[in-house]
Structure 1
Amino acid sequence: MGRKVTVATCALNQWALDFEGNCERILRSIEVAKAHGAKYRLGPELEICGYGCADHFYESDTLLHSFQVLRNLLEAPVTQDIICDVGMPIMHHNVRYNCRVLFLNRKILLIRPKMLMANHGNYREVRWFSPWNKLRQVEEYFLPRMIQEVTGQDTVPFGDCVLSTKDTCIGTEICAELWNPNSPHIQMGQDGVEIFTNSSASHHELRKADQRVNLIKSATTKSGGIYLYANQRGCDGERVYYDGCAMVAINGDIVARGAQFSLDDVEVITATLDLEDVRSYRGELCQPRLESEFKPCHRIKVDYSLSSCEDVYLPTHQPIEWHFHTPEEEISLGPACWLWDYLRRSGQAGFLLPLSGGVDSSSTACIVHFMCVLLCQAVEGGNGRVLEDVRRVVGDESYRPQDPKELCGRIFTTCYMASENSSEDTRNRARDLANQIGSTHMNINIDMAVKGILGIFSAVTGRWPQFRANGGSHRENLALQNVQARVRMVLAYLFAQLSLWARGKPGGLLVLGSANVDESLTGYFTKYDCSSADINPIGGISKTDLKRFLLYCAEQLQLTALRSVLAAPPTAELEPLTEGRVSQTDEADMGMTYSELSVIGRLRKLSKCGPFSMFCKLIHMWKDALSPSEVAQKVKHFFRIYSVNRHKMTTVTPSYHAENYSPDDNRFDLRPFLYNTRWSWQFRCIDDQVAVSKFHSRASRRKGDHRREPVITMSCFSCTQVTQMAANAPKQ
């Protein structure tokens, strides 16, 4: 009857500028798709060159090598008799575009440029590409000679068009276009396009996967249709991790899906679907277009069918239920896959982590252990690429990992760096956790190095600084804490470079950082201390989520040492002990709790709040616990320490992006690093508002109404009115 189609989409672990590897993975995905009977293969965004090329997109080399790969794909026997949809940058009329290239049997069918760009958060697409803003318009694109020699074509269609086969019609979306309120699939569906494709480079973020799935289901719920979604996988050389989730949907149901987190470089998802299901679904819902301004899609016809005449007995895919990972599972999987990508591509022999026995470094250690679990599972499942990479990392061509704990001992070194201010409790917690996960563990005492550095200072100045507990000033106290932290960074890199050499083994180690997103937000770390590392898997994760993750690890992996880690108050242990016990805690030093910081961080980044608007929101959110005056003090304290420490984010270790209020200055959160830390105008507005609230509170009490009076907000009065009312209020 000729109505059932088999289509394929995929998740590929591409790498920016790895043209050879990217080409090989694309060809492998096409081979798998054809083996499963697919007549159409969709790949992720910019898969030929890699999505994360950044300013390399400016280089003519990137465009040249992309066309060279395209030529290889056109000539490859495996790409014959299947429509291949690949992504690459293309320059048209001296303008750079992010494009899809569709080809069949050595002929390019069309080039479709991206029309709606991703230009927020981690994305800066308009820095390198221009959007195609000519709706329903198609131009001629003159092919480079190297492509003409293969295709025999001088020009091909370039623009906003769809592909019309003998049995159906296929329309393209690219990544962010799905998330736009005016998505192309809306009008394409109204014009009879039956199959929508989306090639993406969509990164992982905690609690985000359901948004992506719901958007795809919604796209075909409203007007029917088949939707193919392809995505990048892996780190691509950047801070973000692309988490796959390739899927196929029809009429609002997901019928096939790939893994969200996986060590497979190539994953192909195929589905067989009945076009009559789309037509029946639309027959009841869709009405003829009545708008006189409607422009039909520009159709590019191809003499090819996705279906066959003998498909009556071909089974179709049925709806499946999507089970989403919990945030704790996401933390165990996403950063672990990201670490493995970084390790295997860096050429190093493993990781080194300063393990303090606290929540942050323990979380990092557990993520590395989960990485070893995933590696052993992949090898056991027959993943030859993972086995080859593991053998190269450990330097043993006959090695076969079977036990995660044993593998952890080969590629993971932890060290507890003690000082005279360290407690026996933290030393024991670090040792116990290292024993349970199997890392090679060392105890290092840093006192000799610290005293040596202070001795140099004393020899030059004739002064020896003292801790505050011993009568020293605040400046002395802070300097003495910082020198300990920075000595730990120097020693971490020394042992990372030479510890394997000292054991007679080849290679060096990557240093792991362990500062969480909340500490980065306030700058609660020493610049160039042991938070300065090669990479940081938890730099985008909140302390609250990390605690839940450790509880999950304690239960899932039976790591009993983590219970004592969770029970202990977070501390930097940089000040003298009191009767052998820790006297310094993180939350006391910061002046607010980690849960408060999470709320403030989201208001600052997601709600775009400055000091005054944040105060106006928090007086309602925290009204049951804090008075307006107390909220004002919290807000002012946060913005003071945030602005004083913002400079630290310019040198922060590259971190796994997992949280949408990340303060990462290097890409995600672009703000100044030199502030007027007094915030005089902003704080005066807050103080005036507090005065108004007190005035109304007293007025209410004089009237005998002792109920809690609602706080007046900016929506009630302008700043000028607030100032005038405060001036007329009775003095306290």
Structure 2
Amino acid sequence: MKETRLTLAGAALNQTPLDWDNNLQNIKDAITEAITHNVDILLLPELCITGYGCEDLFLSPWLGEEAFRKLLLVKEWCADITVCVGVHVWIGAQVYNTACVIKNKEIIGFTAKQFLAKDGIHYEPRWFTEWPANQVGEFEMLGQKYKIGDLIYEEQGVKYAFEICEDAWRPNRPAERHMAKGVQLILNPSASHFALSKTDLRYRLVVEASKKYQCTYVYANLLGNEAGKVIYDGEVLIAQNGHLIKRNELLCFKNVDLEVSEVSFGENPTIAETITYLPPIDENKEVMAALSLGLFDYMRKSHSRGFVLSLSGGADSSLCAVAVAEMVRRGIESLGVVTFVAKTQLFPLKDVAYFDTLSEDQVARELVGRLLTCAYQGTVNSSDDTYNSAKELAASIGAVFYSWTIDEQVKGYTSIIESALNRPLTWAEDDVTLQNIQARVRAPSIWMLANIKGALLLATSNRSEAAVGYATMDGDTAGSISPIAGIDKSFIRQLLVWCQTELGYEGLQYVNNLQPSAELRPAKEAQTDEKDLMPYDILNQIERLAFYDRFAPDEVYDKLLEAGVADGETIKGWLTKFYSLWSRNQWKRERYAPAFHLDDYSLDPRSWLRFPILSGGFRDELKQIGEK
């Protein structure tokens, strides 16, 4: 065929389920910007009209009808441009996840997703039906008939088709069939959640497909914290014949992030510009970017007025504090001071103007002071080390810092139970009770502060604690959002060192010199988390082998023994403790505050790993290990 040049664009959109005004405005802005660049085909993300995270509302017919009416509004904005829009459609009793192609204000077809995501956090088969390969049908909506199915489209003589997100991750992906039909361009609208290093997999998926199928491949993902737990990195990729042409900056704070490239199609297409991709991924940088964007979107979409944090001076609460500071720093860097402040919707115009007069460092500290309030709640068992760690960190980032003691409240509750039981509570007999009341008493005061400020209370639990229930319910687990519950403790500890050395958060020097401790027992006992549990790196290995790799307990034992982490009896002790605590504490995992999905798996029973609250507790399996 003769050479044809098309201007292609992909746009990442920060959408919210059922937020019609926001979603349609972002779509309109993307189309308007694309038209100014003379774009021929614009690709928008998967299910971008409704938002991907509507969950069981996708099963409500009224939502499908309303989404289609919004699609008809979008159609009228598409003058002299082809726009591909993600929307679900009903045909009879079946719901399909589709990409709608609009060309110059006319809907020319719907491509339906052929492979539904059903692993990890995904439950697509609950809502949608897979479309058969090579099948084309027709449906009627609001009095008009439309083509739907495994369609091939054409733009100025260039044939193009779709892979919708999960379609591209399967061995028998649609692209395998498209090439035989003369397709030269593959479009992939996606809602692919953030996970550490996942962008590297996506890059290879797109670039290697463009090489294998000798085509141009355009990929556009959702952006931001859409519905509460899942964060999207907003990746846009354009590749041709094994060369990367465009790639945007991930996890930005924009509502719309558009990438445009002019691409040549023909027998030997000219590839004018390429980008060198340089792995490996810096996972520390990635997770801080995801945390900060996730917190920002959660704050503004919940209409909250910042954050409140019980800052203990330990690793977990310190990371939460730094994440808020990074939210401010990265937000200003991404949007500029005025746009960032305006997007929070928290400040009057005079404050916006005031912030714009400050230096970069001053405005960051000022905004952290307005958005983050911390409190150190000490007891007789707390140390000067953790107090100084909390105080100095808060001061270094500009957060509001309060300090008070809770000994009187602890004594009050203790005396009530001592009177009722007619005996004193002792550490020898009532260890867990006396630890828990200290953690639990901290919750009412910090909740009061959050309520007064109309702010989100940050819970500070991590994934390693969640695995074994090493947390006090309604105490240190109390909160509106648990941002780091998807990260293990070992990763957190090295991440804090990285934040100090690479990001310049010098206030972390204190916590980085401390051993993690709940500080709930008398100081003379020198309580540490790892003394109570086991080494965190071992705990994390057991957790991953058991619930990500899905090995049986005796297989986990064999693998740890083979790895030489310890002698057999020590490993047996660790495994007995882990599986016993895991089984006993499933009810705690059920009650954790909403957590961000950050790693390639999580322990969240509502979005990744389901486990019975009542079970046999691996008794027989642990007995088998004991007999080895």
Same fold (TM over 0.5): yes
Q: Residues 558-637 of structure 1: matches in 2 within 5 Å?
A: 558-578=504-524, 583-590=526-533, 592-621=534-563, 623=564, 625-637=565-577
Determine the structure 2 residue equivalent to 1:182: 172
Aligned 8 A contact 1:261 1:333 in 2: yes
CA distance in 1, matches of 2:579, 2:6: 58
Q: Residues 395-434 of structure 1: matches in 2 within 5 Å?
A: 395=348, 397-400=350-353, 401=355, 402=360, 403-434=363-394
Determine the structure 2 residue equivalent to 1:652: 592
Residue 578 of structure 2 is aligned to residue 638 of structure 1: yes
CA distance in 2, matches of 1:238, 1:185: 33
CA distance in 2, matches of 1:270, 1:589: 55
Aligned 8 A contact 1:343 1:349 in 2: yes
Pick from 331, 338, 352: which aligns with 1:375? 331
CA distance in 2, matches of 1:184, 1:334: 31
CA distance in 2, matches of 1:105, 1:6: 15
Determine the structure 2 residue equivalent to 1:18: 19
Residue 311 of structure 2 is aligned to residue 355 of structure 1: yes
What SS class does the counterpart of residue 8 from structure 2 fall into? Answer: strand
Aligned 8 A contact 2:463 2:488 in 1: yes
CA distance in 2, matches of 1:323, 1:30: 31
What amino acid is aligned across from residue 586 of structure 1 in structure 2?
D
What amino acid is aligned across from residue 471 of structure 2 in structure 1?
F
CA deviation digits over 1:371-392, x for unaligned, max 9?
110222234377x3x33223x2
> How many angstroms does 1:660 deviate by?
2.5
CA deviation digits over 1:633-658, x for unaligned, max 9?
32222111111112110001111111
Determine the structure 2 residue equivalent to 1:52: 53
Measured on the aligned residues, the alpha-carbon RMSD in Å equals 1.7
What SS class does the counterpart of residue 268 from structure 2 fall into? Answer: helix
Determine the structure 1 residue equivalent to 2:622: 683
What amino acid is aligned across from residue 101 of structure 2 in structure 1?
L
Range with greater deviation from structure 2 (528-537 or 438-447): 528-537
CA distance in 2, matches of 1:87, 1:654: 27
CA distance in 1, matches of 2:496, 2:569: 36
Residue 346 of structure 2 is aligned to residue 393 of structure 1: yes
Pick from 248, 252, 255: which aligns with 1:262? 252
CA distance in 2, matches of 1:322, 1:584: 47
> How many angstroms does 1:396 deviate by?
5.5
Pick from 476, 489, 495: which aligns with 1:530? 476
Determine the structure 2 residue equivalent to 1:674: 614
Determine the structure 1 residue equivalent to 2:447: 493
Pick from 513, 522, 539: which aligns with 2:459? 513
Determine the structure 2 residue equivalent to 1:483: 437
> How many angstroms does 1:14 deviate by?
0.5
Determine the structure 1 residue equivalent to 2:40: 39
> How many angstroms does 1:173 deviate by?
0.6
Q: TM-score, normalised by structure 2?
A: 0.95
Aligned 8 A contact 1:605 1:661 in 2: no
For structure 1, the residue ranges without an aligned partner over 5 or more in a row are: 146-153, 282-314, 501-507, 691-732
CA deviation digits over 1:72-127, x for unaligned, max 9?
11223xx1111111011101122111111111123211111111000111110001
CA distance in 1, matches of 2:495, 2:106: 51
CA distance in 2, matches of 1:379, 1:233: 15
Aligned 8 A contact 1:14 1:47 in 2: yes
For structure 2, the residue ranges without an aligned partner over 5 or more in a row are: none
> How many angstroms does 1:245 deviate by?
1.3
Aligned 8 A contact 1:394 1:411 in 2: no
Determine the structure 2 residue equivalent to 1:86: 85
What SS class does the counterpart of residue 187 from structure 2 fall into? Answer: strand
Aligned 8 A contact 1:241 1:334 in 2: yes
Aligned 8 A contact 1:271 1:316 in 2: no
Determine the structure 2 residue equivalent to 1:318: 273
> How many angstroms does 1:397 deviate by?
4.7
> How many angstroms does 1:19 deviate by?
1.4
CA distance in 1, matches of 2:38, 2:406: 63
Pick from 268, 278, 297: which aligns with 1:280? 268
Q: Residues 90-489 of structure 1: matches in 2 within 5 Å?
A: 90-133=89-132, 135-145=133-143, 154-276=144-266, 279-280=267-268, 317-323=272-278, 325-380=281-336, 384=339, 386-390=340-344, 392-395=345-348, 397-400=350-353, 401=355, 402=360, 403-468=363-428, 473=429, 476-489=430-443
Aligned 8 A contact 2:447 2:457 in 1: yes
Aligned 8 A contact 2:43 2:220 in 1: yes
Change (3 A) 1:404 1:317: farther
What SS class does the counterpart of residue 228 from structure 1 fall into? Answer: strand
> How many angstroms does 1:412 deviate by?
0.4
Determine the structure 2 residue equivalent to 1:710: none
CA deviation digits over 1:497-518, x for unaligned, max 9?
12x4xxxxxxx11100111111
Change (3 A) 1:10 1:431: same
CA deviation digits over 1:507-532, x for unaligned, max 9?
x1110011111111111111121222
Aligned 8 A contact 2:4 2:156 in 1: no
CA distance in 2, matches of 1:535, 1:179: 31
Aligned 8 A contact 2:5 2:263 in 1: yes
What amino acid is aligned across from residue 112 of structure 2 in structure 1?
P
CA distance in 2, matches of 1:323, 1:563: 31
> How many angstroms does 1:317 deviate by?
4.5
CA distance in 1, matches of 2:155, 2:298: 42
CA distance in 2, matches of 1:317, 1:261: 27
What SS class does the counterpart of residue 399 from structure 1 fall into? Answer: helix
Following superposition, which runs of at least 4 residues in structure 1 exceed 6 angstroms of deviation? none
Aligned 8 A contact 1:190 1:223 in 2: no
What SS class does the counterpart of residue 87 from structure 1 fall into? Answer: strand
Aligned 8 A contact 2:40 2:81 in 1: yes
Q: TM-score, normalised by structure 1?
A: 0.82
Aligned 8 A contact 2:11 2:256 in 1: yes
CA distance in 2, matches of 1:317, 1:13: 30
Aligned 8 A contact 2:342 2:352 in 1: no
What amino acid is aligned across from residue 593 of structure 2 in structure 1?
T
Change (3 A) 1:611 1:436: same
Q: Which has the larger radius of gyration?
A: 1
Aligned 8 A contact 1:98 1:129 in 2: yes
Aligned 8 A contact 1:331 1:549 in 2: no
CA distance in 2, matches of 1:454, 1:193: 74
What amino acid is aligned across from residue 556 of structure 2 in structure 1?
M
> How many angstroms does 1:316 deviate by?
5.8
> How many angstroms does 1:587 deviate by?
0.6
What SS class does the counterpart of residue 309 from structure 2 fall into? Answer: strand
CA distance in 2, matches of 1:670, 1:162: 40
Aligned 8 A contact 2:481 2:594 in 1: yes
> How many angstroms does 1:545 deviate by?
1.8
Change (3 A) 1:562 1:387: closer
Aligned 8 A contact 1:521 1:662 in 2: no
